[in-house]
Structure 1
Amino acid sequence: MPKKTFYILSNGTVLRRAGKRLILEKQGKKFYDCPLQDVGRILVYASTEITGQTLSALMEEQIPLYFVKRSGELKGKIMPANNTQIQLRILQHRSFFNDTFSLPLAKSFIYTKLQNMREILIYLYQNGRGTQDVCQPIQNAAERLSQCQNREEIMGIEGAAARHYFQIIGSKLPEPFQFSQRSRRPALDPTNALLNLGYMTLLREIQAHVEAHHLDSYIGLLHAIQDGRASLALDLMEEFRQPFIDLFVMKAINRGSIKPEHFIKKEDSLLITHEGMDRFFRLYEEKMGMQDGEEPGLRKLIDDQVHSLKKHLLGEDTYKNFQIEFGNQENHG
């Protein structure tokens, strides 16, 4: 069973271990608890105290902690030791500098992302009037990828396609949530605040899976190497942004699960309130853990992609991209 994320959203809490359970307390009273074995990662958004015994138990159980600002920016992390499969990591590092190996993979990440964008636009227009017009720039971008000679050209094509895509997405939302372009740090509108939080949360999910497979999350194949950037996790996330986060955010807005009052203005940015974050993460967990019939939970799909890439790096199999067909994605709610 895929392990879940443990969120700490309230200030003044204490996280401790009691036997085989994690307990979150506030003012001496149990606030929340769950079995330690069910936890895959912990995201801390508030001021909390973590006992030394608890921290030791988390490291023994290979559970990473991420400390995150409410804006979605990562402040720091505590990771279990990862000192095995050194030869795999050496092979991964060499692959980054081997364009013959890395560029086809880099192109495939973005090609798949563009096709997933196209699927979302087809869904929004329900294959009716105007569908071809809004999808054509995305398809044109996908066709130009084969001519790219380096990562910069690939990312340039992706950037232009993304600007077009988000203009369309932003115009299809209800009035308080409409936007014309992406804004990251700071987020300038409610939808961008939700997208930023969603992407950051998904990135930490993927990073945890990457490191569990003994890969180096900071050495990617598409994204440039940069201090503090989990480039390989970002590479893999390109295929998941649309089906996991964009669609999730749009549905949360359209169903009224997230409302304008769940945001507050602070200086030049827009932040999500405590209640808004609580709702967001409750919905997110429902989505990530959901299994319909024989369909795998979404966390299992992430792990499958990391495993597929690992097999590709080792020369044992060919990487299989995660491309949605919208009818299938609907099964995940």
Structure 2
Amino acid sequence: MRKLLNTLYITTPEAYLSKDGLNVVVSVKQEEIFRIPILNIEGIVTFGYMGASPGLMKLCADNGVSLTFLSPSGRFISRVQGPIKGNVLLRKKQYLLSDDQAYTMHLSRLFIGGKIQNYRNILRRFIRDNGVNTEVEDAASLLLIRKNELLRARDLDQLRGIEGDAANVYFGVLPHLILNQKVDFIFKGRNRRPPKDAVNAMLSFAYTLIANDVAAALETVGLDPYVGFLHSLRPGRTSLALDLMEEIRAYLGDRLVLSLINRKQICIKDFCMQGDEGVVMTDSGKKIFLSAWQSRKKEFIIHPYLGEKIPVGLLPYVQSVLLARYMRGDLDNYPVFLIS
């Protein structure tokens, strides 16, 4: 099993990355503020525009460390990756399968079905922990109906329509899952580009982090993150990463956001307005979120298919391995990750 290493998050917009031997050096205004051996990390994510030296980029490429650039608000800009590793025959098989309509429909049903089921499981767990809530129970029942409708869908457009309806049902009752700080963290549905409230700002931030981790994991196992099945091909879009994260986004992202709010680990002062309507996390808010994110990734779970204990942070990698095995024909079906 692959070893889980830390991801280095640089939240200071004025930070510049360089190398010194085998160390990553972080400087602000030409003054060193932090350094870490490259062997201790598996990825670098930086929020800012100062950039990184060519030497640091080569150091990352030589050591299999992904270097991702995000805007200060958390929007994806680009990712620098070293030479492609993995079996070229696997990628060739992936490209052929992506043109197979029946195969594409089957995988897309699995991705969306896993997503909807995990939505249901989050709602059902809330009911178990907090007692009867009619609206949440009705939503969970409606999600089961939407999940069963997937079997009757004839094309990707119908699948996407069902997925959209299910998301509206789930996010429609998400405010019930916010138990504390209700006045400050008002949620009236999913919105983005830009997020219009603090909850959506955190959800978008979390989904960007998840997509980055999934794309890096797919690269690691030899799959092309840009060639997907459910999400259409588009220049610069990691379609397969977006496919694979559907089943895990609620588990990794939504539950973390709800936990931060309900445990009062983050407060409304950790957010600020950007422009006329957009809301973003402040630097202090990002540090709180990223600290919780790193801690969450170090927790252990029993993987429902493998039956083995793994760190949560390895979940994107494990699902990528299972997807690659399915594409190679080593597995009869792709085992979607489902939470209990």
Identity %: 26
1:160 is aligned, of 131, 143, 165, to 165
**2: CA distance between counterparts of 1:8 and 1:18?**
17
Asked if 1:105 corresponds to 2:107, the answer is: yes
Alignment-derived partner of residue 204 in structure 1: 212
**Does 2:96 correspond to 1:87?**
no
User: Which residue in the other structure is 2:249 paired with?
Assistant: 241
Are 1:71 and 1:186, in contact at CA under 8 Å, matched by a contact in 2?
A: no
| Native 8 Å contact 1:151 1:223 kept in 2 | no
Instruction: Spell out, residue by residue over 1:198-231, the C-alpha distance to the aligned partner (whole angstroms, 9 max, x if none).
Output: 0001100000010111211111121111122111
RMSD between aligned alpha carbons? 1.8
Q: CA offsets per residue over residues 54-95 of structure 1, 9 Å max, x none? A: 221111112221111133321222221216522211211111
Q: Which residue of 158, 172, 175 maps to 2:177? A: 172
- What is residue 189 of structure 2 aligned with on the other side? 181
Give the Cα–Cα distance (whole angstroms) in 1 for the partners of residues 143 and 301 of structure 2: 31
Structure 2 length-normalised TM: 0.90
CA distance in 2, matches of 1:49, 1:156: 40
* Structure 2 match to 1:132: 137
Identify the residue that residue 125 of structure 2 maps to in structure 1: 123
Counterpart in the other structure of 2:266: 258
Match in the other structure for 2:223: 215
Give ranges in structure 2 of 5+ residues lacking alignment.
303-307
Question: What is the aligned partner in structure 2 of residue 328 from structure 1?
Answer: none
**Equivalent-residue separation in structure 2 for 1:134 and 1:12 (angstroms):** 45
Q: Which residue of 1 aligns with 2:151?
A: 146
Moved more, 202-211 or 215-224: 215-224
**CA apart distance, 1:49:** 4.5
Which residue in the other structure is 1:41 paired with? 43
What amino acid is the match of 1:285?
Q
Specify every segment of 5 or more residues in structure 1 that has no aligned partner in the other structure, as ranges. Answer: 326-333
1:275 aligns with 2:273: no
Instruction: Give the deviation of 1:28 after TM superposition.
Output: 4.9
Distance 2:213 2:161 in 1: 26
Normalised by the size of structure 1, how large is the TM-score?
0.92
| Residue 312 of structure 2 is aligned to residue 307 of structure 1 | no
Letter in 2 for 1:323: L
C-alpha displacement of 1:172: 3.3
Worse overlay, 152-161 or 16-25:
16-25
Give the conservation status (yes or no) of the 8 Å contact 1:66–1:78: yes
- AA partner of residue 157 (structure 1): I
